[in-house]
Amino acid sequence: MIPRILLASVALALLPAAAATCDGLGKLSLPDTTITTAELVSGGSFAAPGVPQPFTNLPSFCRVAATIHPSKDSDIQFEVWMPASNWNGKFFGVGNGGFAGAITYAGLASAIREGYAAASTDTGHQAPGQNASWALNHPEKIVDFGHRAIHETAVKSKAVLKVFYGEQPKRSYFSSCSNGGRQALMEAQRYPADYDGIIAGAPANYWTHLLSMAASNVQATMQDPASYIPAAKLPAIQAAALAACDTLDGAKDGIIENPAQCRFDPSVLLCKGQDSDTCLTAPQLTALRQIYGGLRDKNDKPLFPGYPMGGEAEQGGWGLWITGAEPGKALMFAFSTEFFKNMVYSNPDWDFRTFDPVRDTQTADEKFARVLNSNDPDLKRFRDRGGKLILYHGWSDAAIPAYNIIDYYRSVEQKMGPPTSFVRLYMVPGMQHCGGGSGATFFGQLGPSKTPQESNIETAVERWVEEGAAPGPIVAMKFKQGMNPASGVAKTHSLCPYPQVAQYKGSGSMDDAANFICVAK
């Protein structure tokens, strides 16, 4: 691997004198890289490839598209967008969800609106995010997806920036969620020099065990048709969980503040007579217990945590991810079966009915733990170079169990001692996967000028890196209309640095963060 400083100097040496212009970047020579586009895009709107609607309100920017070939079977496409003027001197890495397969143009557009130069990659293949057929018998493409593409994109993009602006970025940041959260932690663990500040949301960092757990849940709800839990029964499950645990924080607000304290016994839902949408049959109750209990070996030792209680029936919840509108239609069904068919066993005919929790989880680990998992607690290199890491996860996440990020945080603490000098974890009550849900779930997307500093997680990590101001509680907001700030704020809530949680003071509006205090639990 060529060091980045050497890479930049090689680029400069090979560059004709006039190539500091955007168009001239098309002649830039970088190792294992082919530049396919270098164009100056005027401000206003831009129609990105494959995106139905053009992006608007964009500044004038230099767009460079390129392909990286670190192996014979690699075809890593990436783009770097650089404001033509008023660059803030910073680089922003944009991640991917699912199995990736496309450049995240929306993230690039958001970044340059705020003055960042930004880059994103398809991670080495083109496909819908729920499709892993590209991986079948392509081990190098799996390596690209696992970690190589996101790193190579950072290195090559900074080399392009160095030429275009005449200087390296003063600071570099990465923020993403889900698979992007896995990528974020992969950068901190494996490539700690790439970024100064990293935000990892709802990370799928224990990839092999997450998708083994998903396969186990598919089996639990579909092996026997009588075990399937239809969407019509999810409201009864959530209502029973809220009845047991909603008021543990002193506030009856329809949200469980800290599901880890919830001792809800789902057996109260067992049908006493005729089956109905207000109760569960015995097979359904068994399946529900497994979903809550997580992946376990034959000795009942946990291999991966189950799902917290409290957000089962919400839009974007279990009906989308776990149980689906009907059997076989849940997103976790797609992700788990695609993983085992195309990666673990290279067998398109693999059947979830054959899944064995111990055998198949072990096989997944043996083949891909080092390539796909970013659960290494040793962050010494990242910490020692001054890196700062913020983790967050929604408690009602129906894709990746929120307990997973707590397990990772605790593993860092066990390995390195209290990590509060460079790591913060925020658990978000009532938030679904990466956003949405019944709680106050907006706490910053790119755009610090649009939200208060204390409500912006990107601002928080930058102030920590650049000013040494460690973040405390972050005020999350819920808007009156979806994710539209212009509709007005309906609710605010304090997100407390873990292990603290928000506790209602006992008076005042429960929709006002000022009436809650962070306490240790």
In the annotation, is 178 catalytic?
A: yes
Question: Catalytic residue among 433, 455, 493, 494, which?
Answer: 433
> 11-20, 83-92, 368-377: which range is least confident on average?
11-20
From 229-238, 304-313, 378-387, 441-450, the region with the lowest mean pLDDT: 441-450
Task: Read off φ and ψ for residue 130, nearest 5 degrees.
Answer: -100, 5
pLDDT for the residue numbered 486:
83
| Integer CA distances (angstroms), 437 to 131, 163, 315, 452, in order | 26, 44, 7, 21
Secondary structure of 170-211 in HEC code, one letter for each residue: CEEEEEEECHHHHHHHHHHHHCCCCCCEEEEECCCCCHHHHH
Tens digits of per-residue pLDDT, 221-248?
Answer: 999 999 999 999 999 999 999 999 999 9
Report pLDDT for 481. Answer: 87
The yes-or-no verdict on residue 14 having pLDDT over 80 is no
Asked if 374 contacts 412 with a C-beta cutoff of 8 angstroms, the reply is: no
Mean pLDDT, range 113-138, rounded to an integer = 97
Give percent of the chain with pLDDT exceeding 70.
94
Catalytic residue among 397, 438, 493, 494: 397
Q: Provide the whole-model pTM.
A: 0.93
Across 53-196, the runs of DSSP E, i.e. the strands, are: 55-58, 61-68, 76-83, 90-94, 117-121, 171-177
State the pLDDT at residue 223.
95
Residue 497 near residue 425, CB atoms below 8 Å: yes
134 conformational bin, left if phi > 0, alpha if psi -120 to 50, beta if neither: alpha
Q: Over 60: is that where the pLDDT of 447 sits?
A: no
Place of tokens 């955007």: 22
Q: What is the pLDDT of residues 25-81, one digit of tens each?
A: 999 999 999 999 999 999 899 999 999 999 999 999 999 999 999 999 999 999 999
Q: Which pLDDT belongs to residue 448?
A: 39
Is the model's pLDDT at 450 over the cut of 80? no
Q: Does 363 score more than 60 pLDDT?
A: yes
DSSP one-letter string for 388-448: EEEEEEETT-SSS-THHHHHHHHHHHHHHS--TTTEEEEEETT--TTS-SSS--B---S-T
Question: Choosing from 74, 110, 175, 178, which is the catalytic residue?
Answer: 178
Helix (H) or strand (E) holding 134: none
Neighbours of 205 (CB within 10 A): 26
User: Is residue 433 flagged as an active site residue?
Assistant: yes
The mean pLDDT of 83-110, rounded to a whole number, is 97
| Angstrom distance (rounded) from CA 269 to CA 246 | 17
Concerning whether 176 is annotated as a catalytic residue, the answer is no
Q: Give percent of the chain above pLDDT 90.
A: 90
Rounded Cα–Cα distance for residues 209 and 195 (Å): 27
Q: What is the mean pLDDT of residues 426-434?
A: 96
3-state secondary structure at position 337: helix
Mean pLDDT value across residues 204-226: 97
CA distance 94 to 104: 7
Is the confidence at residue 11, as pLDDT, over 80?
no
Instruction: Give the position of tokens 């111990």.
Output: 358
- 377 near 414, Cβ under 8 Å? yes
- Confidence check: pLDDT of 328 > 80: yes
Which amino acid belongs to residue 403? Y
The pLDDT tens digits of the residues spanning 476-509 come to 999 998 878 888 899 999 999 999 999 999 999 9
How far apart are alpha carbons 34 and 327 in whole angstroms?
A: 45
Measured CA to CA, the distance from residue 294 to residue 407 in angstroms comes to: 13
Q: Where in the chain are the domains?
A: 1-169, 208-368
Q: Give residue 444's pLDDT.
A: 73
pLDDT of residue 32: 97
